[in-house]
Structure 1
Amino acid sequence: MKTKLILTGKLVQLTTGNWKTLDDIKNVYTKRVFVKPSDLNRWRDDTAFGRQRIAGVNNVFIRLCQTIPRKLMVTDDMLEPFLEGLSLPLALSDRRIFIVDYEILENCPTRPDIQVCAPIALFFLRNDGSLVPIAIQLRQVPSDDNPVFLPTDPPYTWIMAKMWFNNADVCIHQAITHLGFTHLIMEGIITVTHRQLSQSHPVFKLLAPHFLYLIAINARAIEKLMSPSGWIEETMAIDVKGFHELIRRYKTKWQLDLEGTLPADLAQRGVDDPEILRQYHFRSDALLLYEALRTYVSKYLRIYYDTDDKVLADEEIQNWREEMVKPETDKGLGILGIPGNSGKFISKTQLITVCTCLIYTCSVGHAAANFKQYDEYAFPPNYPTKLRGSPPTSKDALTEEDILAALPDKETTLNTMIITKILTQKTNKPLGDFDVNYVYDPAAVQVVKEFKEDLKRISSTIKTLNRSRNPPYPYLDPAEVPNAISV
């Protein structure tokens, strides 16, 4: 509430009406929100647009492009001006082309009179290491009124295409990356954990610090954000029904051992090699933390499961797994990709993988999706929650007035800023510094101590890296990553 009052006071000019000029937007932001003028130019910059795919709030959908999909109507001649002297086949073979395809948005329910695209975009890795867009098609099915937009199109036409793409990215970020596959999927797992594991069970003690607060914050979100008059209905392009539909669609493919396991997810998207996408700061920092978490979980669980037979014989653990994988129609969670054989955990390694992924999701995964929200969402041209009118259907030159007419009004902007500012406030302790201690076994206490020492080293490494990053990416510094989802 304090944040809301402060922002409302600073942004009194945003309460009603539409934007009149782009300078009008900049003046309000620079005078009342203490945003640096240089930050307000990012929405025009192709390198900033590319960076949103690898160091923004939605870093888990870009993948290496090895073959141009037939539904994307590009040609070699069309793209070669943007490939720094390479032919398209050579750029593909050199792993310089990347793709984001949001086919999952096709025919997704939206708010009345609001449209959402299901775009496909290609990105090129320049010689200087920056990632830039080179083609954007706003709808899936090729047609005369669905052109491929290029950086050489009239300036405001290209900007409009990027804004409609980012509006789609917002929908994916909020419904899937953030709400669906951190908050909601973990609520089910927390419920099953409390139902199947006793509070004295070593796995319960391991996971409990990372489960604090989530059910409470989810209940608050349903009340304030997902109600008929909540933030989603008032501010987003897709409504609550659309959120549920996207989550349902994605859950049919999401697997804990692939999309839910960072190294496997990076590998299946073809972006695990550190020699490509060197500015993929999310990947670099998240991997450091994932490996530290896996080491911590491995050491801890081996105290209690020195043989695989002890895992197999643990009825609580086996019941826990069974309820997670049981179909929703049988009152289970219906989670795909939980390791096991013949319906059981049969090894320490399988249990280690699951526990690592759960802790990662509640800490690192949520931090990456959540704590940069204000930075991205607060300035409407940069990352618009909704756009008015229709996506462009030709490459005709657009104007500043066309951009202004598409942007959300001032009230929507204010509501977006208030919510994203609140969501970026950290309210519990950083990773490893547990709000509640569950572990008292001396051997396990020593493992926790070693984990904290690892996190200190990683924090120092990330701080050093950020001194040469432009801009820095501090969001996965362990000192900034909370233990649990509390906001």
Structure 2
Amino acid sequence: MATYKVKVATGTDLLSGTLDSISLTIVGTQGESHKQLLNHFGRDFATGAVDQYTVQCPQDLGELIVIRLHKERYSFFPKDPWYCNYVQICAPSGRIYHFPAYQWMDGYETLSLREATGKTTADDSLPILLEHRREEIRAKQDFYHWRVFVPGLPNYVHIPSYRPPVRRHRNPNRPEWNGYIPGFPILINFKATKFLNLNLRYSFLKTASFFTRLGPMALAFKVRGLLDCKHSWKRLKDIKKIFPGKKSVVAEYVAEHWAEDTFFGYQYLNGVNPGLIRRCTRIPDKFPVTDDMVAPFLGEGTCLQAELEKGNIYLADYRIMEGFPTVELSGRKQHHCAPLCLLHFGPEGKMMPIAIQLSQTPGPDCPIFLPSDSEWDWLLAKTWVRYAEFYSHEAIAHLLETHLIAEAFCLAMLRNLPMCHPLYKLLIPHTRYTVQINSIGRAVLLNEGGLSAKGMSLGVEGFAGVMVRALSELTYDSLYLPNDFVERGVQDLPGYYYRDDSLAVWNALERYVTEMITYYYPCDAAVEGDPELQCWVQEIFKECLLGRESSGFPTCLRTVPELIRYVTIVIYTCSAKHAAVNTGQMEFTAWMPNFPASMRNPPMQAKGLTTLETFLDTLPDVKTTCITLLVLWTLSREPDDRRPLGHFPDIHFVEEAPRRSIEAFRQRLNQISNAIRQRNKCLPIPYYYLDPLLIENSISI
């Protein structure tokens, strides 16, 4: 008789345990065991438990390769989902085999798990293992399907269980994904999100944390009358009352210094949209700024041409926003513009705006605003630029270039890489909860009852249109971080903490990916000859980039360096890139004039007409402001159940070399974190959004 000692670990999240019966079959190279019920006297498979069992076999099964977990009904109890972390088996020889699961078993089903060693197709020779990986991919492709979200945008997850709830209310026009109480802002319909597959959903802790924060805040807004007021703000200082509690250092600084030119320029470097600004070597024809206009703001002994040649002139061009129609909010027509902003980096080390044009087409009705104009003219011109920043940030840098692209990476991985594949093991921590938060995001942002319809000048179609236009111009090179800084001409710009920190994290990540990839892919032929890898890459090109060849996205990978670059881009996009544009949202947007989502008066066509009253009348009204801020507050606060970058509690890798690489990666991230914290002690505005301790492994909010 051969005795196998078995450990079965149940997840630690609340409700992970089950009352259903669990049986085990062990498969080895020399045979397989009988199906054996795993049962002790008392409770088995409780939340957080590691249960131990003994399985007797008539003979030694040889090297263990696969196990099967059978989940069946127990007595009269109803179906009870179970989250299995892993199964560990000690063979008669003393060798320990690890079988990672880290997934839910929902119904009465059988789950086949392979031993944890990472293997590509070329590493498998046994027919049973080759068939196992083919069957796993076939099953996942039958379950996970692509679905068109908005024509021109990356496709997203559609699975059979992903459906709106049955309507039980009388109003047929009530949005399926946005059940909201009349007079309240958008509230997530919890019943809708529960139809997601269990393996894609938030944990109980994260769900509770997310929804319990939103409800009380919405109720507080309602009780204070903020959600019923369609009037203009009477005083700027009243905006501070939206969030009366204690604010962060950065949020307080924004509220105090938002109108200053120095802070306006600072946000292009270290705000929530730090990837837009680029060095200007020639003033574009559509922006006829002359030396006479800006000479007083460049300092003595220089001129515009000289500063252009020195590389001290920078441009923020919002041409991608041009031409979108606007909607009505609170019964009033909203307005839009696609401005240009010229900035100067002076010898004192500050980025300062020196000229603003509120249209892509110059003309007599489109003056160029200067710092020497009246206080309110100049402030409103800057506010129009900040309005355009809202769309550049929320639609492009945040939603499109992190959330939607990351979901496509995730779905392509699920459909094409089996769990034993080293790339699956490498990528799976960076896809955690992304589908869940994107489901919420689509409901909250891109829905007829959502934020884009209730709080943005462009409405649903315009907001989506900005993303469609941006995706049509997105390139593979722009996602390769070091190239992006060089292409924009900002690789040596002082005081660019976003660049410094992002490159530090990128380099640590690239080194980690290099170590992992070269362990499993010793040569270029191993990359080119991996059919599962190639299918993953092809599907991303087809479903995320929609087959657009001008994007430069590869349709296949032929060398190890190409694979390293590709995987680094994927992981960085799903982690640090999202942190850079998401973590500081509330700090920079809580003071609404710094980041308005709508404007109620058209862009100025003449100078000298703006006053405090017209400024306040142009800003969003009280209700629109509060709806926007409530949603941004909710979507920028990471709920509990966090996993910082490099923190991988799920054991997918068991080989020594990958385990050492993971630990080395974690140590490098700790060093980066310490360096960032030391630097921030000397800064008036700390920049901590790319502190590895604050970066999530995945896009989960």
Task: Tell me the TM-score normalised to structure 1 length.
Answer: 0.94
1:190 and 2:410 matched = yes
Alignment partner, residue 433 of structure 2: 213
Q: Which moved more, 1:374-383 or 1:285-294?
A: 374-383
Inter-partner Cα distance in structure 1 for 2:550 and 2:395: 18
What is aligned with 1:470?
684
Aligned to 1:81: 296
Asked if 1:426 corresponds to 2:634, the answer is no
SS at 2:443 equivalent: helix
Question: Once the 2 structures are TM-superposed, how far is the Cα of residue 23 of structure 1 from its aligned partner?
Answer: 3.4
- Is the contact between residue 176 and residue 246 of structure 1 (CA under 8 Å) also seen in structure 2? yes
- Contact 2:405 / 2:544 at 8 angstroms: preserved in 1? no
Residue equivalent to 1:61:
276
Q: Which residue of 2 aligns with 1:18?
A: 232
What is aligned with 1:90? Answer: 306
The alignment partner of 1:326 has SS state of: helix
**Secondary structure of the equivalent of 2:258?**
helix
Which secondary structure state, in structure 1, belongs to the residue aligned with residue 593 of structure 2?
coil
Equivalent residue letter for 2:372: T
Q: Aligned partners of 1:328, 1:436: CA distance in 2, in Å?
A: 28
Given the alignment of the two structures, is residue 300 of structure 1 paired with residue 516 of structure 2, yes or no? yes
Report what 2:356 is aligned to. 136
Q: 1:328 to 1:207 in 2, by over 3 A?
A: closer
Call closer, same or farther: CA 1:37–1:63 in 2, change over 3 Å: closer
Instruction: Specify which of 511, 516, 532 is matched with residue 316 of structure 1.
Output: 532
Q: For the Cα contact (< 8 Å) 1:386–1:407, is it kept in 2?
A: yes
Aligned pair 1:164/2:384, yes or no? yes
Residue 652 (structure 2) pairs with residue 438 (structure 1) = yes
Establish whether residue 461 from structure 1 lines up as the match of residue 675 from structure 2. yes
Residue number in structure 2 paired with 1:346: 558
Query: For the structure 1 residues 328 and 8, does the alpha-carbon distance in structure 2 shift closer, same or farther, using more than 3 Å as the test?
Result: closer
Contact 1:104 1:246 in 2 (8 A): yes
Runs of 4+ that moved beyond 4 A:
8-11, 29-38, 331-335
Contact residue 408 and residue 544 of structure 2 kept, 8 A: no
* Residue 119 (structure 1) shift: 0.7
Determine the structure 1 residue equivalent to 2:584: 372
**Deviation of 1:111 (Å):** 2.2
Does 2:480 match 1:265?
Answer: no
Partner Cα distance (1:268, 1:38) in 2:
32
Query: Cα distance, 1:33 vs. partner?
Result: 5.8
Question: What's the CA shift for 1:442?
Answer: 1.9
Post-superposition shift, 1:196?
1.3
Deviation at 1:260, TM superposition (A): 0.8
- CA displacement, residues 356-399 of structure 1 (integer Å, 9 cap, x when unaligned): 00100111110111111111111111111111111111111411
Query: Partner letter of residue 388 of structure 2?
Result: A
Q: Greater RCO between the two (CA within 8 Å, min separation 6)?
A: 1
Deviation at residue 292 of structure 1 after TM alignment: 0.6
Q: 1:151 is matched with which residue?
A: 371
Give the Cα separation in 2 of the matches to 1:181 and 1:23. 34
Counterpart of 2:449, as a letter, is S
Q: 1:34 to 1:309 in 2, by over 3 A?
A: closer
CA distance in 2, matches of 1:398, 1:4: 37
Which is further off, 246-255 or 194-203? 246-255
Q: Contact 1:171/1:237 (CA < 8 Å) preserved in 2? A: no
Is this contact kept in 2: 1:171–1:238, CA < 8 A?
Answer: no
1:243, distance to aligned residue in structure 2 (A): 2.3
Q: Which runs of 5+ in 1 are unaligned?
A: none
> What corresponds to 1:358 in structure 2?
570
**What corresponds to 1:99 in structure 2?**
315
Residue 136 of structure 2 is matched in structure 1 by: none
Name the CA distance, whole Å, in 1 between partners of 2:232 and 2:581: 29
**Distance (whole Å) between structure 1 residues aligned to residue 624 and residue 666 of structure 2:** 42
- Matched residue, 1:49: 264
Shifted more, 235-244 versus 258-267: the winner is 235-244
Tell me by how many angstroms 1:298 deviates: 0.3
Q: List runs of 5+ in structure 2 lacking aligned partners.
A: 1-210
Residue 43 of structure 1: CA displacement? 2.1
Q: Between 103-112 and 352-361, report the one with greater CA deviation.
A: 103-112
* 1:70-119 per-position Cα deviation (integer Å, ceiling 9, x unaligned): 11021011111110122111111111110011111111243242221111
CA offset digits 1:244-278 (Å, max 9, x no partner):
2122211222112x1111111111111112xx2x2
1:335 to partner: Cα distance: 8.6
Alpha-carbon distance in 2 for matches of 1:328, 1:359? 16
Question: Higher strand proportion, which one?
Answer: 2
Aligned to 2:500: 284
Mapped partners of 2:543, 2:622: distance in 1: 44
Tell whether the 8 Å contact from 2:444 to 2:631 is kept in structure 1 after alignment: no
TM-superposed CA distance for 1:400, in Å, is: 0.8
Q: Are 1:2 and 2:216 counterparts?
A: no
1:191-223 alpha-carbon deviations (Å, 9 max, x no partner): 111111111100111111001111111111122
Post-superposition Cα deviations, 1:28-81, rounded to whole Å, max 9, x if no partner, equal 258556577654232211111111111111111100000000110210111111
The amino acid that maps onto 2:280 is C
Q: CA contact under 8 A between 1:98 and 1:122: conserved in structure 2?
A: yes
Aligned to 1:14, the other structure's residue is in SS state coil
Give 1:483 shift. Answer: 0.4
Check whether the contact 2:321–2:338 (CA below 8 A) recurs between aligned residues.
yes
Residues 254 and 328 of structure 1: is their aligned pair in 2 closer, same or farther, counting only changes over 3 Å? closer
Matched, 1:337 2:549: no
Q: Partners of 1:234 and 1:307 in 2: how far apart?
A: 54
Partners of 2:505 and 2:378 in 1: how far apart?
37
CA gap 1:419/1:327 in 2 versus in 1, 3 angstroms = closer
**Relative to structure 1, is the Cα distance of residues 333 and 70 closer, same or farther in structure 2, using a 3 angstrom cutoff?**
closer
Cα gap change, 1:386 to 1:436, in 2 (>3 Å): farther
* Distance in structure 1 (CA, Å) of the matches to 2:212 and 2:323: 39
Whether the 8 Å contact between 1:30 and 1:37 is mirrored in structure 2 is no
Q: Is the 8 A contact 2:254 2:587 kept in 1?
A: no
When the two chains are superposed, the root-mean-square deviation of aligned CA atoms in Å is 2.0
- Distance change >3 Å, CA 87–CA 207, structure 1 → 2: same
**Amino acid across the alignment from 1:267:** V
Contact map agreement 2:326 2:334 (CA 8 A) in 1? yes
- Deviations, residues 330-374 of structure 1 (Å, cap 9, x unaligned): x768793234xxx53111000000100010011111011111111
Cα displacement string for residues 284-342 of structure 1 (whole angstroms, at most 9, x for unaligned residues)? 1101001111000000000011111111111111122222223789x768793234xxx
Are the structure 2 counterparts of residues 338 and 167 from structure 1 closer, same or farther at C-alpha, using a change threshold of 3 Å? same
Q: Which moved more, 1:422-431 or 1:92-101?
A: 422-431
Which of 285-294 and 319-328 deviates more? 319-328
1:485: which partner in 2? 699
Q: 1:457 to 1:74 in 2, by over 3 A?
A: same
User: Which residue is equivalent to 2:335?
Assistant: 115
Change (3 A) 1:447 1:65: same
Q: Which amino acid aligns with 2:604?
A: P
- Alignment partners' CA distance in 1, 2:550 and 2:216: 42
Counterparts in 2 of 1:111 and 1:441: CA distance versus 1, 3 Å: farther
| Greater CA drift, 179-188 or 33-42 | 33-42
Residue aligned with 2:285, SS: coil
Matched, 1:248 2:468: yes
CA distance in 2, matches of 1:75, 1:280: 28
- What code does the residue aligned with 2:316 have? V
Where is the helix percentage greater, Structure 1 or Structure 2?
A: 1
Q: Which has the larger radius of gyration?
A: 2
Counterpart residue identity of residue 693, structure 2:
A
Change (3 A) 1:335 1:227: farther
**Contact 2:417/2:533 (8 A) holds in 1:** yes
